A and B are shown apart, each in its own frame.
Chain A
Amino acid sequence: MLQIEIDHLNKHYGGFHALKDVNISIKQGSFVALVGPSGCGKSTLLRTLAGLEKTSSGDVRIAGRSVIGKPPRERDVAMVFQSYALYPHMDVEHNMNYSMRLKRRPKEEISERTRTAAETLGLGNLLDRLPKALSGGQRQRVAMGRAIVRNPKVFLFDEPLSNLDAALRVHMRSEIRKLHERLNATSVYVTHDQVEAMTMADHVVVMRAGVVEQQGSPLDLYDRPANRFVAGFIGSPAMNFLPATVTDNGALVLDNDSAQIRLNRDIAAGCQFWIGMRPEHLSLKPCVNDMAIDATVTGIESTGSMTFVVLEVASQPVVLAHSGRPETRRGDQLRLHISLDNLHLFDRETELAA
């Protein structure tokens, strides 16, 4: 069953077109990540779902009912803000049950549900504290608690982890995901961190400049990026791109280099492409069905478990991810190998996957 349907949605701020014909369908119980660089419209889209922004045209349906023109309180959505937006003059308990008090639920129900939510989040002994007496992680949990006590149709998260330190962020990622599964909720999660999107979501929507560039399952986006932007955005370290041109004999030749690639498909001569290669697909050893390119090592970055070798190919920087510790040094000349199956091609003009 579809919980959220976004249908040809447009949003203008004066002359600025913030959302351009956005279409997204979100199934009940799924976890959707909206991801993209800053200013891509992902937060605007989330706020539109919450009812905090007006739409210019198009339709948004939550649980089958159009919510266009409806104020936030008639949408039954809960939102976790980036700044948490806890009410500074209310203690944790009152922060969490404000929504229920507004609905004038019976007192027992309010305290019961507040306690359950607080215990779920490990806030049981903090209920009488004011937000200013809480740490960043605790505040984040209160913001989550405020959302889950309501048991809403949809959870909206606006970069909820960006104010936490790295370790806590990784921890909270799995917490949020677990919570989502336990509540069988429908969640929409905005982030600029593609790792967060990949690890948490069932469905990732990549946006740029108000346009949905691609959407699908995380691995789908990783394996079959629709265009160069998505290919470069998803995956860390980012995909390497090398310019290449098809010669008269049907082979792909790197610009400024002699390396030739024989592709097992027909492409018209003269076509120009970007060759995309993921760092983790590059290898220093020959593999099956591979191509080889000459490269010079210009730097080595080791994280302990992984080593990123920075190379130069045809005066373009290329990064290779190697699990382990390769015996190379800066200045080494070597041959890079990559399986042809792992090559991505993008038209240089349209940037679409070829």
Chain B
Amino acid sequence: MKRYVLLIIGLAMTAIYLFPLYWMYLTALKSSTEIFQYPPTFWPSDTQWNFLEVWKTREMGRYIWNSLLIATGVTILATTLGTGCAYVLSRVRNVWIEIALFAILMMQVLPSSLMVTPIFVMFNQIGLLASPRIAVILAQTAKVLPLYIVLCRATFVQVPRELEEAALVDGSSRIGAFFHIMLPLARNGILVTSVLIFLQSFGEYVYARSLIAKNELQTATVGLQTFMGPNANDWNGIMTYAAIYVTPILIVFMLLQRRIVSGLTAGALK
């Protein structure tokens, strides 16, 4: 009995959570008169397939390419810098490390909209705004790096220290032990965390909006904004854009779902 009640509550909550997503796809498929119809319809009567048209007229290919470029850059930079850092923070224990960890967690708290002004001024002064996508990559890396380090460190902490010591006694150097033993064992956690920060950067808005001036270099999130005018009412177009943009992310999440769950709860390495 109790199980069924819990199941129903779970289903209800999932429905509430997924409803906006459903509404997005629905609106993308409805005609513009049907969108404003009252009472609303829950299934499109006159299905519109204007995905290709929106893709072309809104130049989505270019926007998404820019988003991909930035997200990939951020992910590569954050994993390169963050993995070693996370490893050290997981292995060395002293007061300074505690302070560093605390500082990292604190940085996590600062929102992009707060950081963007000083970052803009600084990047402007050192001339980084001439290559605005790199500027966004740097700013976004700084934003996601703390999260990456904290999550990755948790994965490294779960790898027993003795494995590393065994490798050292077996004749490995510290760096060798890191690459041969620690990295393969933390692989799942690193992969999952990288995907998380990739997706976060793929949907980044504040830095792209503020640091990129040229429209050709803009990301998909900012591209979505081009729909917005003083009297925007092309809800069908907006939702079609959103659907095209979000669907690949959803697919990646669904494919990696098992790994993400096991990565976040992993502990049974040995």
Contact = CB atoms under 8 A, between A and B. Distances in A.
Contact of A79 (B166, B172, B180, B181): B166
A73 B173 contact: yes
Contacts of B127: none
Contacts of B185: 88-89
Interface in B151-189: 160, 162-163, 165-174, 176, 180-181, 184-185
Interface residues of A, number: 23
Contacts of A78: 169-170
B270 interface: yes
A87 B168 contact: no
B269 A71 contact: no
A102 B184 CA distance: 16
Interface residues of B, number: 20
Contacts of A88: 163, 185, 269-270
Given A73-B173, A88-B185, A89-B184, A51 B168 contact: yes
A146 B165 CA distance: 13
Interface in A15-62: 50-52
A77 B269 CA distance: 27
A81 B165 CA distance: 9
A170 interface: no
B162 A83 contact: yes
A14 B104 CA distance: 27
A176 B84 CA distance: 39
Contacts of B160: 83, 85
Nearest to A77: B169
A144 to B, nearest CB: 13
Determine the main DSSP class of B at the interface with A: helix
A102 B169 contact: no
A98 interface: yes
B170 A102 contact: yes
A85 B269 CA distance: 12
Interface string A85-102: 111110000000011001
A52 B168 contact: yes
A328 B173 CA distance: 64
B172 A102 contact: yes
B169 A79 contact: yes
Interface in A308-344: none
B168 A85 contact: no
Interface string A248-270: 00000000000000000000000
A71 B168 contact: yes
Given A88-B270, A98-B170, A102-B176, A52 B165 contact: yes
A72 B169 contact: yes
A85 B176 CA distance: 17
A49 to B, nearest CB: 10
A85 B171 contact: no
B166 A73 contact: no
A73 B171 contact: yes
27 contacts: A71-B168, A71-B173, A71-B174, A72-B168, A72-B169, A72-B171, A73-B170, A73-B173, A78-B170, A79-B165, A79-B166, A79-B169, A85-B160, A85-B163, A85-B166, A87-B167, A88-B185, A88-B269, A89-B184, A98-B172, A98-B180, A99-B170, A102-B170, A102-B171, A102-B172, A102-B176, A146-B166
Given A51-B168, A79-B169, A88-B163, 20 more contacts: A71-B174, A72-B168, A73-B171, A73-B173, A83-B162, A83-B270, A85-B160, A85-B166, A87-B166, A87-B181, A88-B185, A88-B270, A89-B185, A98-B170, A98-B180, A99-B170, A99-B171, A102-B172, A102-B176, A156-B169
Q: Which 8 A-B pairs have the closest CB atoms?
A: A85-B166, A85-B162, A99-B170, A73-B171, A72-B168, A79-B169, A72-B169, A102-B171
